[in-house]
């Protein structure tokens, strides 16, 4: 029976792993079994697949470079199979915080208040995948987040972390995020995306927010679109 509270999870000895470590461990297990990484996709076993395996084993994010119709998006979706069947997260968290190390202010406050009695939920692997088609009109609010005017109207300060309405990236925390047609993003959005992935912080409406997200990012690009 799965744990239902932080205390039960701790007593069970369960250890939360970073998503890239999780992918690596499950890839190694699959390679030992001789099972294919991308069932149903042919023609890449001697070229693309070994490079993807090397990237996962070394803990790197991935960019699929190829023309339309080369199964880039399908391969990204099949990577879900390398995630654990289910992982624990704090109940009620918008960004799937790990029970032992929450990163959002609401979950830190909840854990401080309830301690071991704080509830947890188990996230299946299909809920840990996010996908977005990049277009020139995408904003930082779409990917990272924005100040929620309703929360501000309720009396919170603009600089309060609890006023943030999280975007797609934070909501895919501890999972796989696929960004199709990466070059179509506006340059300033690409800079913001790099900042959140490398520096783990971002500016939203002028104030800085630390978001040490746990993500495996898969991007795709078509060389015909930007060369």
Tokens at 70, concatenated: 């080369």
Q: Is the dihedral of CA 143, 158, 162, 200 positive or negative?
A: positive
The pLDDT of 75-84, averaged and rounded, is 96
pTM, whole model, 2 decimals? 0.91
What are the φ/ψ torsions at residue 124 (nearest 5 degrees)?
A: -70, 160
Domain containing 164 equals 6-225
Out of 8-17, 128-137, 209-218, least confident range? 209-218
* Whether 87 contacts 121, CB under 8 Å: no
Q: Does 176 map to a domain? A: yes
DSSP letter at 146 equals E
In this predicted structure, the answer to whether residue 167 has a pLDDT above a threshold of 70 is yes
In this predicted structure, the answer to whether residue 153 has a pLDDT above a threshold of 80 is no
pLDDT in tens, 176-222: 999 999 989 988 888 888 877 787 766 666 667 778 899 999 999 98
Burial grade of 215 (CB within 10 A; 0-12, 13-18, 19 or more): buried
DSSP letter at 203 equals E
Q: Does 39 map to a domain? A: yes
Distance CA 170, CA 91 (A): 16
Confidence of residue 165 (pLDDT cuts 50, 70, 90): confident
Give residue 152's pLDDT.
63
Out of 28-37, 73-82, 107-116, 205-214, least confident range? 205-214
pLDDT in tens, 94-118: 999 999 989 888 899 999 999 999 9
Q: Is 93 helix (H, G, I), strand (E, B) or coil?
A: coil
> What distance, in Å, lies between the first and last C-alpha atoms of the chain?
54
Out of 24-28, 119-123, 135-139, least confident range? 135-139
Confidence of residue 127 (pLDDT cuts 50, 70, 90): very high
Q: Does 52 map to a domain? A: yes
The pLDDT of 128-133, averaged and rounded, is 96
Q: Does 126 map to a domain? A: yes
> How many domains would you assign to the chain?
1
Q: Does 53 map to a domain? A: yes
In this predicted structure, the answer to whether residue 175 has a pLDDT above a threshold of 90 is yes
Give residue 226's pLDDT.
60
Q: What is the CATH number of the domain that holds 142?
A: 3.40.50.300
Average pLDDT, rounded, for the chain: 89
Q: Does 1 map to a domain? A: no
The pLDDT of 10-19, averaged and rounded, is 94
In this predicted structure, the answer to whether residue 156 has a pLDDT above a threshold of 80 is no
Confidence of residue 144 (pLDDT cuts 50, 70, 90): confident
């Amino acid at each position: 029976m799965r744990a239902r509270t932080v205390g039960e999870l701790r007593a069970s000895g369960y250890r939360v792993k970073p998503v890239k470590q999780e992918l690596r461990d499950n890839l190694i297990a699959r390679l030992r079994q001789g099972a294919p990484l991308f069932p149903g996709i042919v023609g890449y076993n001697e070229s693309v697949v070994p490079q993807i395996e090397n990237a996962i084993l070394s803990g790197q994010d991935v960019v699929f470079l190829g023309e339309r119709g080369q199964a880039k998006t399908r391969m990204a979706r099949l990577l879900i199979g390398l995630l654990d069947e289910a992982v624990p997260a704090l109940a009620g968290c918008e960004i799937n915080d790990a029970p032992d190390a929450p990163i959002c202010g609401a979950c830190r406050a909840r854990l401080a208040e309830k301690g071991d009695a704080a509830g947890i939920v188990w996230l299946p692997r299909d809920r840990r995948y996010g996908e977005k088609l990049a277009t020139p009109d995408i904003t930082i609010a779409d990917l990272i987040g924005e100040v929620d005017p309703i929360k501000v109207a309720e009396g919170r300060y603009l600089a309060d972390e609890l006023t943030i309405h999280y975007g797609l990236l934070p909501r895919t925390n501890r999972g796989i995020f696929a960004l199709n047609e990466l070059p179509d993003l506006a340059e300033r959005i690409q800079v913001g995306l790099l900042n959140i992935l490398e520096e783990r912080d971002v500016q939203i409406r002028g104030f800085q927010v630390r978001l040490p997200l746990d993500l495996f990012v898969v991007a795709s690009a078509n060389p015909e679109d930007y060369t």
